[in-house]
C-alpha cells in the first residue's frame, strides 16, 4: 500500500517537470500553430503588423477558409498571438493563455461570415 503514494508522487513530479508549450510573444505577429505527433507545437508565421488579437483571428479564419476551399479537411485550427493561444472551432474563436487551459469565447461567426464579439448581434424577437 505504500507504493501507491510513491507512484502518485512520481507521476506528479513528471508532469510538473514536463516542458509546457508557450505561445510566441512577438509583438504584432500572428502564428498558425500546428500540433506535432511528439507533443510539441510548430509555430508558422502567418501575418505581421497585426494590431490586435481579433485581426489575427480573422487572418487565421481566412487561412482556414482557403484551405477548406482547396479541399482541406481541418475544420478546427489553432494559432497564437502575443503569448495567447487561439482556437478556431465551429462554435467560434476561443482564446487561452495556455495550450490546455480554460478557453474563453472571443468571437462568434455571423450568418454572413463575419466574426463579432459575443453578444454584439441583436437577437431575433
DSSP conformation letters of 20-86: PP-----TT-EEEEEE-TTS-EEEEEEESS--SHHHHHHHHHHHHHHHHHTT---S-EEEEETTEEE
List the chain residues with pLDDT less than 70. 1-18, 121-125
Structural domain contains residue 27: yes
Domain count of the chain? 1
- Host domain of residue 44: 21-116
- The pLDDT assigned to 17 comes to 52
Kindly give the pairing relationship between strand 104-109 and strand 77-81: unpaired
In a domain, 42, yes or no: yes
Q: Is residue 37 part of a domain?
A: yes
Predicted TM-score (pTM) of this structure: 0.79
**What confidence score (pLDDT) does residue 42 get?**
97
Give kind and range of the element (H or E) at residue 10.
Answer: helix 3-17
Q: What is the pLDDT of residues 66-82, one digit of tens each?
A: 988 888 887 899 999 99
Amino acid at each position: 500500500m505504500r507504493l501507491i503514494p510513491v507512484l502518485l508522487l512520481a507521476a506528479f513530479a513528471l508532469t510538473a517537470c514536463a516542458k509546457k508549450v508557450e505561445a510566441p510573444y512577438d509583438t504584432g505577429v500572428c502564428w498558425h500553430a500546428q500540433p506535432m505527433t511528439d507533443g510539441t507545437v510548430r509555430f508558422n508565421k502567418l501575418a505581421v503588423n497585426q494590431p490586435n488579437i481579433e485581426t489575427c483571428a480573422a487572418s487565421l479564419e481566412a487561412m482556414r477558409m482557403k484551405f477548406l476551399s482547396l479541399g482541406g479537411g481541418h475544420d478546427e485550427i489553432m494559432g497564437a498571438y502575443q503569448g495567447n493561444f487561439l482556437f478556431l472551432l465551429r462554435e467560434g474563436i476561443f482564446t487561452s493563455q495556455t495550450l490546455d487551459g480554460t478557453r474563453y469565447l472571443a468571437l462568434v461567426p455571423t450568418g454572413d461570415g463575419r466574426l463579432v464579439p459575443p453578444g454584439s448581434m441583436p437577437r431575433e424577437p
